[in-house]
Amino acid sequence: MNFDDAFTKLLLHEGGFVNHPRDPGLATNFGISQRSHPGEDIAGMTVERAKQIYKLQYWGKAGCDAVPEAVKFDLFDMAVNSGVTAAVKALQRAVGETVDGVLGPLTLQAVQTMPASRLLARFNGARLMLMADLPTWPVFGRGWVKRVASNLLAV
């Protein structure tokens, strides 16, 4: 999966402008939150601008081009939903590497050598464990689980 395909798939999860009163990310458009991007015009965000942000701030920083096909989209999706560092840490937990949030050579080696189905299952397990511990779980948990489930059903 390349970035363009991943972005198209991501937009199935991320809608237009939302300003949920219990969302710690504040106002959000196409999944780009005001808290993470305070200098952006969130209400006036275009799809093209969202795509630029996603490529530089999420796909690239999470190392999606460097991981196996089996987890490219899931890593990208988690980076968007939970932050790049949390996504990389979940990947490190999945492969049993030191959890430091940096996608380094040891993590990449472990990711490349783990069987794809096991990597995908363990990564999404680590992702769900992280989400279940968030204080916003009671409000957003059902939606997050459906998001992960829809990703797994698309495999």
8 A C-beta contact, residue 100 and residue 30? no
Q: What rounded mean pLDDT belongs to the chain?
A: 93
pLDDT value, residue 74: 97
Of 152 and 118, the structure prediction assigns the larger pLDDT to: 118
pLDDT band, residue 9 (cuts 50/70/90): very high
C-alpha atoms less than 13 angstroms from C-alpha of 88 in its C-beta half-sphere: 22
Residue 155 scores a pLDDT above 80 = no
pLDDT value, residue 14: 84
Specify the pTM: 0.90
Residue 33: strand pairing partners: 28
pLDDT value, residue 19: 83
Name residues whose C-beta falls within 8 Å of residue 41's C-beta, 6 or more positions apart in sequence.
Answer: none
pLDDT band, residue 110 (cuts 50/70/90): very high
Number of structural domains found in the chain: 1
Q: How far apart are CA 124 and CA 117, in angstroms?
A: 11
- Give the domain extent around 52: 3-153
8 A C-beta contact, residue 75 and residue 87? yes
How much of the chain, in percent, has pLDDT values that exceed 70?
A: 100
- The pLDDT tens digits for 10-68 are 998 887 898 877 777 789 899 898 888 999 999 999 999 999 999 999 999 999 999 99
pLDDT band, residue 7 (cuts 50/70/90): very high
Q: Report the alpha-carbon angle 116-122-128, nearest 5.
A: 135
pLDDT band, residue 86 (cuts 50/70/90): very high
CATH of the domain at 46: 1.20.141.10
